[in-house]
Amino acid sequence: MKKKLVVLFAIVLLLFVCLIYRLYSITRDNGAQYKKQVLAQQKYDSVTIPFRRGSILDTNGNILATSEKVYTVILDSVALNADEEAIEPTFAALRSEFGIDTAKVRDYFEQNKESSRYYILSKKLPYEKIQNFIALQNEEGSLIKGIWFEEEYQRLYPGNSLACDVIGFTTGDDVGSYGLEEYYNDVLSGTPGREYGFMNEEGTLERTTISAEDGNSIVTTIDANLQAMVEKYLKKFNDEYANNFHSGNGANNLGCIIMNVNTGEVLAMASYPNFNLNDTRNKESLIGMQLLDDKGDKVVDEENGNRVYITEDNVNTIEGDALYQNYNALWKNFCISDAYEPGSVSKPLTVASAIECGAIKGNESYNCQGMLEVGGHEIKCHNTYGDGILTVAEGIERSCNVCMMYVAQAEGINNFTKFQHIFNMGLKTNIDLAGEARTASLVYTAENMRSSELATCSFGQGYNCTMIQMIAAFSSLINGGYYYEPHLVKKVINSSGATVENIEPRLLKQTISRDTSDMIISMCNQVVTGEHGTGKTARPAGYIIGGKTGTAETLPRKNNEYVVSFMGYAPVDDPQIAIYVVVDRPNVRYQDDAKYATRIVRNILTEALPYLGIFMTEELSDKERTELEELKIEITTPAKSEDGSDTEGDAEGTDGAGDENSVTEEQTPPANSEIWKTFAIDPETGYAVDPNTGAYIDPDTGATIGGTFSDEGEEPTSGNETVTEITYDENGSPSQQ
C-alpha cells in the first residue's frame, strides 16, 4: 500500500512539473500575442460626452436661458511624472495662464505622482480662458504634459433676474427646478454621448464615439421687453414703500400678469421679491422678506407679537432647514402658487353668472343703505354711509357690496357655485409651469354654502383663488365668453432651429354668451371712466381702459391687513390684453386702498400699450406729455371711427322684473347725499376725515380706510369656517394643510 501511494504521489508531482513547464513555454514564446488579445478585449478608456440643454427663448427669439460649454482643468500626475523635464514648465504654465497656486499642486503631485490620474485644478472655465494654454500645450516640442480638459455645460441666464419666477433654474446635475425649467425638463434635456477606447490586436488604441443628442429649445409667449417693463414698476413700488410702516419689503408679495385674452398666452408674469438666476442662493435676495423658521412658519417677536423680517443684521444667522424654507419662499411663483381671497375683482363674475343663468337682466336697481342683514349677520358695504339706489352697472362702478349680495340672492346658491366651477375656481388652470397651487378645498360647494357665505362670496371674500385662475376667468368675461387654457410656450424647436412642435391656443369652454360679455365690458368700462369709478387712477396717459378694483381683508378678520388689486384690459372697445396686479399687504399704515395696485397698472400700461401698437385715443395733459417725453414714448393716435359710437352701453334701466330685491321707480328713495365729500381732507394722508368718528374716508368712493371694513365689507366669522394654508414640499410643490 505504501509503495502504491509513493508511485501515485510521484505521478502527480510529475504532472505538475510538466504543467509548470508548459505555462513557462507559453509565456516565453507566445506571451506578447496573448497579451494583445487580452488587451483587445478590455475597455481601455471611457469618457462621457455631455449634452447641451436646450435654450429658453422669448417670443421674439431673445435668449432667456442658454447653456455654454465650460471646461474643468485636470491633472494626470502619472503622465506628468513620466517626463521629469515637463514638471517645471507645466507648473509654470498653470501659474501664468490660470493663476493656480502651484505650491499646493506640487505638494499633491509629490505625494501622488505614481497613483493619481485625476485631480481637479479649476472648474467651469470658458474656452477663452483655456485657449492660450492649449496653444502652448500643442506647440512643437512643448514640455507641458499631464494636463487635460473635461467638457461640460453651464446654465446661463443673460437677464439675471428677468422672468426668474417663470424660467426657474437648474440644479448642479443639470435638472430643472421650478418654472419652465422643471415643467419642460424632459424637452430641454438631451442624451449624453460616450467615447470608448480599446486596444486592438496590434496594441494600438482605437476609439469609438457615440455622439450626444442635444436637448430641444422652447419658444415662450413671454415678451422680454414687456416683462422688463413690468418688473421695473414692481421694483419701483418696492423701492418706494420698503421699510415704510415697518421693516421689510414694500409688500409681502407683488404680482403682475399680462395675458392675451383671445389666446390665453401669457405675455408677462412677474412677482416681487425676485432673485438672480445666476446666483440663486445669494442671501441678500432674502432681505426684506418675512422670516420663516425651519418648519416654514412665520417667526413672530415674542415681546410685541410682530412679525420678524429678514434684515442685513440677521440674514447670515439663517441656516439649515430654516434657510431652505426661506429660499423656497423666495423661489416660488406668487402668481400661480399663492392662494388668496380676490375681493371685488370677482364682482363681474358674480354679475355675469347671474345674467347668464337668467336670474337678472343686468338693468335692475338696488338700494344700498351701507349694510345688509343676511343669515343673522349684518354685512357692511365698503361705503358704510350707503350708496343709495344703484343699478347693477353702478354697483360694479362703485364696487357696492350690498348690490352684489342682492344679485347673488337672485342667482341662488346652486347657480352661483355652478358658475364658479365654470369659471374654473377651485380647479387648476393647468398652466405649463411647475408649482401651480390646488384650490379645490378653498371654495364652497352647494352642499356646504349657506346664505351668509353666498353673500360674502358674491364680493370675493370667503373663497380663495390664484392670480392665474382669476385672470383666465376674467379674460373669458371680456373676449366673448371663451375660456382659454393659459400657457407660456408656443413652440418647441430642435438644436438646428427646426420646429418640432407648435403649441396652439387651447379653447376649453364658453363660460358666458357674447351678449353677456358685452354687458360686462360696458359695466367695467365705467369703473375707470365713470364719475364714481373706483379705478380712475389706473387710466394710463392717452388711453381709456376698463377693469375692476379689489380689496380683501386677510385672516384673521379685523387685523387691518389687506390684499389690494386691479384687473384691467385694453383697448376699451375691443379688449386684446388683460393686466392683473396684486399687492399683498402693502407696507403702509392703511392698507385697504386699491390705488396701490391701480397706480402700478397705470405706470405699466403707459409704457406697454404704445409698445404693443395700441393707439392712443385720449387728449394728453401737459403733465402726461412731459411724462411720455421722459419715457421716450412716441405719441400716436388713429383716425376717428366712422360711426363715432361709444362702447360703454347703458345698462342703466330700472326694470327689476324677476328679482324681488330690485327697486322699482315708485319705491326709489332719495339718492345718497355723498356726505363724505363735505369732510375735510387730511393733508398728510390725502383722505377725508369723518368729523363724527375720526375715520379716514376715500374722498372718491366713500370707502372707510384703515377701519374694520374692507372694500368688500365685514365677513361673518361664525359657522364652519375653514382656513387653508398653501405650503410647499422640498421640491417646491404646493400642498394644503
Q: Which of 195, 220, 245 is the last residue of a domain?
A: 220
The residue that leads in pLDDT, 344 or 19, is 344
Partnered with residue 509 across adjacent β-strands are 483
| pLDDT on residue 469 | 98
| pLDDT on residue 78 | 87
Position 65 in a domain? yes
| pLDDT on residue 332 | 95
Separation of alpha carbons 581 and 547, rounded Å: 11
Pairing assessment for the beta strands 56-57 and 217-220 based on DSSP bridges: parallel
Checking if the pLDDT of 724 tops 60, the result is no
Checking if the pLDDT of 686 tops 50, the result is yes
pLDDT bracket for residue 651 (50, 70, 90): very low
Domain range holding 419? 336-591+653-672+707-728
Separation of alpha carbons 101 and 685, rounded Å: 62
The residue that leads in pLDDT, 43 or 46, is 46
In this structure, are 426 and 569 located in the same domain? yes
> Beta strands of 381-440 (E only): which ranges?
388-391
CA-based end-to-end distance of the chain: 89
In this structure, are 202 and 341 located in the same domain? no
pLDDT bracket for residue 203 (50, 70, 90): low
pLDDT bracket for residue 49 (50, 70, 90): confident
Burial state string for 97-130 with b = 16 or more CB within 10 A and e = fewer than 16: bbebebeebeeebeeebeebeeeebbeebeeeeb
In this structure, are 425 and 554 located in the same domain? yes
Give the H/E segment covering residue 470.
Answer: helix 467-478
C-alpha dihedral sign at 638, 642, 644, 648: negative
Are 190 and 212 a contacting pair, CB within 8 Å? yes
Model pLDDT for residues 450-494, shown as the tens digit of each residue: 999 999 999 999 999 999 999 999 999 999 999 999 999 999 999
| Mean pLDDT value across the chain | 86
Average pLDDT over residues 651-656: 37
Separation of alpha carbons 651 and 668, rounded Å: 17
| pLDDT on residue 37 | 52
Partnered with residue 156 across adjacent β-strands are 66
Model pLDDT for residues 372-406, shown as the tens digit of each residue: 999 888 998 988 888 899 999 999 999 999 999 99
Position 266 in a domain? no
HEC readout, 488-550: CEEEEECCCCCEEEECCCCEEEECCCHHHHHHHHHHHHHHHHCCCCCCHHHCCCCCCCEEEEE
Are 277 and 157 a contacting pair, CB within 8 Å? yes
Average pLDDT over residues 439-454: 95
Instruction: Tell the residue number behind the cell numbers 337668467, with chain if given.
Output: 358
The residue that leads in pLDDT, 2 or 351, is 351
| pLDDT on residue 638 | 62
Pick the range with the lowest mean pLDDT from 10-14, 64-68, 101-105, 543-547: 10-14
> Beta strands of 545-630 (E only): which ranges?
546-553, 562-570, 577-586
Position 643 in a domain? no
Checking if the pLDDT of 664 tops 60, the result is no
State the CATH number of the domain containing residue 434.
Answer: 3.40.710.10
Position 698 in a domain? no
Position 325 in a domain? no
Position 607 in a domain? no
Give me the percent of the chain exceeding a pLDDT of 70. 87
| pLDDT on residue 40 | 47
pLDDT bracket for residue 202 (50, 70, 90): low
Pick the range with the lowest mean pLDDT from 78-92, 347-361, 495-509, 630-644: 630-644
Average pLDDT over residues 488-513: 95
In this structure, are 500 and 353 located in the same domain? yes
State the CATH number of the domain containing residue 136.
Answer: 3.90.1310.10
Average pLDDT over residues 543-551: 95
Pick the range with the lowest mean pLDDT from 107-116, 123-132, 582-591, 656-665: 656-665
Average pLDDT over residues 86-93: 90
Give me the percent of the chain exceeding a pLDDT of 90. 61
Average pLDDT over residues 561-587: 96
Model pLDDT for residues 596-606, shown as the tens digit of each residue: 999 999 999 99
Of the ranges 67-81, 564-578, 625-639, the best mean pLDDT one:
564-578
What is the value of pTM for the model shown? 0.84
In this structure, are 343 and 215 located in the same domain? no
Position 280 in a domain? no
Checking if the pLDDT of 507 tops 60, the result is yes
Q: Which residues contact 220 (CB under 8 A, 6 or more apart)?
A: 56, 57, 58, 59, 64, 166, 180, 488, 489, 490
Average pLDDT over residues 585-592: 92
pLDDT bracket for residue 673 (50, 70, 90): low
| pLDDT on residue 633 | 87
Task: For residue 688, report the phi and psi dihedrals to the nearest 5 degrees.
Answer: -75, 155
pLDDT bracket for residue 201 (50, 70, 90): low
Q: Which of 196, 220, 244 is the last residue of a domain?
A: 220
Model pLDDT for residues 515-526, shown as the tens digit of each residue: 999 999 999 999
Instruction: Tell the residue number behind the cell numbers 400716436, with chain if given.
Output: 636
| pLDDT on residue 197 | 64
Pick the range with the lowest mean pLDDT from 98-102, 471-475, 570-574: 98-102
Domain count, the chain: 2
Separation of alpha carbons 546 and 523, rounded Å: 9
| pLDDT on residue 36 | 52
| pLDDT on residue 18 | 83
Pick the range with the lowest mean pLDDT from 72-86, 251-265, 345-359: 72-86
Position 465 in a domain? yes
Distances (CA, A) of 341 to 31, 366, 461, 594, 723: 83, 25, 5, 14, 11
Checking if the pLDDT of 639 tops 60, the result is no
Task: For residue 347, report the phi and psi dihedrals to the nearest 5 degrees.
Answer: -60, -40
Q: Which of 192, 220, 248 is the last residue of a domain?
A: 220
In this structure, are 344 and 213 located in the same domain? no
pLDDT bracket for residue 39 (50, 70, 90): very low
Model pLDDT for residues 319-372, shown as the tens digit of each residue: 999 999 999 999 999 999 999 999 999 999 999 999 999 999 999 999 999 999
Checking if the pLDDT of 718 tops 50, the result is no
Q: Which of 360, 347, 356, 361 minimizes the C-alpha distance to 402? A: 347
